[in-house]
Amino acid sequence: MGPSAVRLLNIFVPIKRAVDYAVKIRVNPEQTGIDLNVKHSMNPFDEIAVEEAVRIRERLKDAVKSIKVVTIGPPKSAETLRTALAMGADSAIHVEIPESAPAPEPLGVAKTLRALIERQKEGVDVVIMGKQAIDDDAGQTGQMLAGLLGWSQATFASKVVVDPEQKVANVTREIDGGLEELRCKLPVIITTDLRLNEPRYASLPNIMKAKKKPVEKLTTAELGIDLTPRLETIKVTEPPKRVGGGKVANVDELLAKLKEAGITGKHA
Amino acid sequence: MASKATRLRALALYKELHRLGRDYEPSYDFHGKLRRMFEKNRNLADEGEIEKALKMGEYIRNETLALYSLRKYRHLKRMYPSNSTVDPLTDRWP
């Protein structure tokens, strides 16, 4: 019996340059958004995605042909791509938008990713991305991309096993009340949860080597995508400051205070 | 006399530690301590002593990396707690 015609897997990992996890988020003075003049780094969930792609290759070895990372962002996002390349990705795509442009919305990002995936002559078999970005916590892009492409999706993955022979991915998902196991036909969109893995550190020698890896630069115009926001943010404010609690001396005082607050225990 | 190989190792280690020090608690003066420790050992000649000093530097690098990892993981775990009642950590793959 001859060897089965198993196509080599191409893994696609979208990543985002987001506000760093350690930064204390502040609303900007104009109340239109958060202060973005702060430290940025790769979204932690996307780090987990890059790590998972590299681990899949470590497990499947020659069955994985390429790991491509992609980002949509200002020129500074190139640094984020470099970190991913240092972690083990082979090449990158940078869809560059102007520094002054508004942040792309999940639907816009999903449409851009679809255009990029359809452009890949060798096809894409597995898309792994973070379940949400820690600066906007939208958690929509992966699902929207799966909908646009009509591909299977497995979100909040806490364990991923890809079977290139069977052309499926067995994914364990974290859901309320437990774990769910899915078997998804390739191609598949997987979004990562925190407990999937612990990302490796991109050492300085690897970051230097990553400078030699190819980075393709594209614009949204070339892809035929319009990233103009469809939503208008009217106002952003901080939550109201917590008012301090007070101590009561005994149950009678507690009842008196509750009555003051209008809680009488009788139906209105 | 320190060989070329150990010199390169020491330089690479210094660069790596310097880069790591950027994220350390500023009041600790990581960069200052790093420089002083390297300067203190600059004239080591005995191979064994050089090896020991380099190993110490590598140990500190690994410890700092572990510290950063833990700090990040703990922060993220608090920000994004697991909803499930099953502990995924016991469900690790081999």
Interchain CB contacts (distance < 8 Å): A and B: 53
Overall domain count for chain B: 1
**Non-local CB neighbours of A175 within 8 Å, separated by 6+ positions:** A156, B83, B84
Model confidence pLDDT, tens digit, residues B60-77: 999 999 999 999 989 999
Model confidence pLDDT, tens digit, residues A109-130: 999 999 999 999 999 999 999 9
B19 found inside a domain? yes
Whether A158 has its CB under 8 Å from any CB of chain B: the answer is yes
Model confidence pLDDT, tens digit, residues A69-118: 999 999 999 999 999 999 999 999 999 999 989 999 999 999 999 999 99
Mean pLDDT of A8-19: 95
Top residue of B82, B85, B90, B92 to mutate, by most chain A CBs within 10 Å, is B82
Q: Most distant CA pair in chain A: distance in Å? A: 87
Which own/partner pairs from A177-185 qualify as long-range (CB within 8 Å, at least 24 positions apart)?
A: A177/B83, A177/B84, A177/B85, A178/B84, A178/B85, A178/B86, A179/B84, A179/B86, A179/B88, A179/B91, A182/A154, A184/A152, A184/A153, A184/A154, A185/A152
β-sheet bridge partners, residue A183: A170
Domain boundaries, chain A: 9-231
Residues of chain A with Cβ-Cβ distance to B73 below 8 Å are: 198
Mean pLDDT of A235-252: 86
Q: Using the predicted structure, report yes or no on whether residue B94 has a pLDDT greater than 50.
A: no
Q: Do A204 and B91 touch (CB under 8 A)?
A: no
Please state the pTM of the whole predicted model.
0.84
Pairwise CA distance, residues A114 & A188, whole Å: 13
Q: Using the predicted structure, report yes or no on whether residue A1 has a pLDDT greater than 50.
A: no
B85 found inside a domain? no
Indicate if ipTM > 0.95.
Answer: no
Whether A79 has its CB under 8 Å from any CB of chain B: the answer is no
DSSP state of A242: P
Q: Using the predicted structure, report yes or no on whether residue B89 has a pLDDT greater than 70.
A: no
Superfamily of domain A9-231: HUPs (3.40.50.620)
**Non-local CB neighbours of A117 within 8 Å, separated by 6+ positions:** A12, A124, A127, A149
Count CA atoms closer than 13 A to B25's CA, side-chain side. Answer: 5
**If we measure between CA atoms, which residue out of A185, A14, A205, A179 comes closest to residue A112?**
A14
Q: How confident is the model at residue A197 (pLDDT cuts 50, 70, 90)?
A: very high
Which pair of structure tokens corresponds to residue A233? Answer: 């943010």
What is the pLDDT, as a whole number, of residue B82? Answer: 76
B15 found inside a domain? yes
Domain ranges, residue B33: 4-79
Model confidence pLDDT, tens digit, residues B28-63: 999 999 999 999 988 888 889 999 999 999 999 999
B8 found inside a domain? yes
Name the percent of chain A lying above pLDDT 90: 73
Closest CB to A195 among B16, B75, B82: B82
Q: Mean pLDDT in chain A? A: 91
What is the pLDDT, as a whole number, of residue A2? Answer: 43
β-sheet bridge partners, residue A92: A69, A215
